[in-house]
Structure 1
Amino acid sequence: MSASVQDSAPRRADAQRNRERILQAARDLVREPGELKLNAVAKACGIGQGTLYRHFPTREDLLAEVYRREVEDLVAEAPRLLEAHPPLDALAAWFDRVAAYARVKRDVFAAIEAATWRDLAAHSLGPIGEAVELLLAAGRSSGSVRPDAEARDVIVLISWLSRLDDAELDARGPRLLSILIDGLRTPRP
């Protein structure tokens, strides 16, 4: 997989806006049936294909960045939620965000080669595990999360979300995540 042309160089404001529009359009379009077409992404953004290719030389580069961004957003949400909510409520709200992440993960991984998605999954596990541990540690510290709860256990339990189709994720996801939250609560004596 090649790197994005402008990964390390500072971007002009208009170039950064184009990049953000490209990523959002790709995130929206990857959910549609069939293969994600770069010309459809460029058309959705109202930019030329040359502009798209300057940011993402290949379809795989674009999809990998969509996934990386989704992981970054998911991980960044954990400390923000802890600032605004008690630990167990923050964890529950974060699980709501995990459901959206699972949809993007499923769609991106379905659209790229197996070797690429294995690499992306391996790199995202650490940051996601750290976000889960941050939330669990706050809950353990406050006494609201059981002391034996481990990040790896939570990751194993939420990993099934990316295997569900949209209808099942909508129908069962919130209830199953609520059951998981109840299982993480400190047991009452």
Structure 2
Amino acid sequence: MTTGRLPRADARRNRERLLAEARAAFAEHGTGASLEEIAARAGVGIGTLYRHFPSRQHLLEALLREHFDALGASGRELLASHAPWPALTEWTRAFVAATTTFRGLTGEVTHTLDHAGSSLHAACRAMREAGEALLDRARKAGEVRPDVTTADFFVLVSGVAWAHEQGPADSHERIDRLLTVIFAGIRPTTPAN
């Protein structure tokens, strides 16, 4: 039974330090960074880390929820304000940028998109729903081939994010080239416009 009380000030500070150190460690070493090292850098024991974040995925979810919620909101906004094709391409570029925040994140996101039991799945759900709605609208408008499924789309754009992770840190030009190829490949032979 919860009492509705806020966590103690020291517990809140520990959580914030853990998140800051995890963000730094994941940026430096990727999502496989040592949880023990993160705890030590935050000045707490590993038990404290696990009390706040029972698994690596819980820790990632806490760090990424804001990014993924923003992608969901952006998708809803693009649905309301942009034509189908520009909305889909703009959102896709934002998706790739978000999923390359930390080396190894693409694999985590790809794995959790279809696994409802994962703690990261909840954070990914709104993002996936936004992408699916944008793709569906573009498909109905004749801007995307009818045989391109949501699963196909996410595999393709996740592949671009994965390729970015494998290359040099300055491979943003590669992302643009690969997305251009994907965008050309999912378009019908004769676009609606």
TM interval, short-chain normalised: 0.5 to 0.7
Match for residue 143 of structure 2 among 142, 145, 169: 145
Task: List per-residue Cα deviations over 1:21-48 (Å, max 9, x = no partner).
Answer: 754653343021375355765788xx75
Alpha-carbon distance change, 69 to 24 in structure 1, aligned in 2, over 3 angstroms: farther
2:148 is the counterpart of 1:155: no
CA distance in 2: counterparts of 1:179 and 1:82, whole angstroms: 23
Unaligned runs of 5+ in 1: 1-5
Deviation at 1:105, TM superposition (A): 6.6
Name the structure 2 match of 1:136. Answer: 135
The code of the aligned residue for 2:174 comes to: R
Number of residue pairs aligned between Structure 1 and Structure 2 = 174
TM-score by length of 1: 0.62
Match for residue 55 of structure 1 among 42, 52, 57: 52
Task: List per-residue Cα deviations over 1:105-134 (Å, max 9, x = no partner).
Answer: 752477x8xxxx845762347655432221
Name the structure 2 match of 1:183. Answer: 185
Unaligned runs of 5+ in 2: none
Name the structure 2 match of 1:30. Answer: 26
CA distance in 2: counterparts of 1:11 and 1:153, whole angstroms: 43
TM-score by length of 2: 0.61
The code of the aligned residue for 1:181 comes to: F
Deviation at 1:18, TM superposition (A): 7.5
Name the structure 1 match of 2:86. Answer: 89
Q: Is the 8 A contact 1:88 1:181 kept in 2?
A: no
Deviation at 1:52, TM superposition (A): 5.7
The code of the aligned residue for 1:90 comes to: A
CA distance in 2: counterparts of 1:85 and 1:20, whole angstroms: 37
Q: Is the 8 A contact 2:27 2:103 kept in 1?
A: no
The code of the aligned residue for 1:79 comes to: R
CA distance in 2: counterparts of 1:88 and 1:11, whole angstroms: 45
Q: Is the 8 A contact 1:30 1:36 kept in 2?
A: yes
CA distance in 2: counterparts of 1:98 and 1:118, whole angstroms: 15
2:95 is the counterpart of 1:98: yes
* SS class of match (2:29): coil
Q: Is the 8 A contact 2:106 2:158 kept in 1?
A: no
